[in-house]
Structure 1
Amino acid sequence: MTDTFHVVAQRGLVDHDTSTSEPDCVRGLEVRPTTQEDGSVGWLLAHHSLDGREQAAG
């Protein structure tokens, strides 16, 4: 079983759908593989905000 983890902006202008493991978001997202403690690989889905605040955090 593959685990999927979502990262979303707090107090965003739109709600992000975190109920699915499919990489689908109105604003786009970054998909990264993550190795878990047991050696299995999961997925990190980092949802982008509509106001672009993640660009300033870099």
Structure 2
Amino acid sequence: MPQHTHARTRRCPACDGFPTVSVTTGARHRDGSRVTIRVTCPACQGTGHAIPTRATVTAGK
């Protein structure tokens, strides 16, 4: 019977742990490969972990 393993770190709710992705633009290079751009999650700045907000840090004092 499979057991569920919970994540040990808090994942970013905006990107769900996938902080950097490559998005295809639809265009192609001369050699036939696709043109892609790299996009980073603005909420976690590409770390993949939830960053505590100022209200959370203040309330935790």
TM-score normalised over the length of structure 1: 0.24
Q: Which of the pair is proportionally richer in strand?
A: 1
Larger Cα Rg: Structure 1 or Structure 2? 2
Q: TM-score, normalised by structure 2?
A: 0.23
Higher relative contact order (CA 8 A, sep 6+): 1
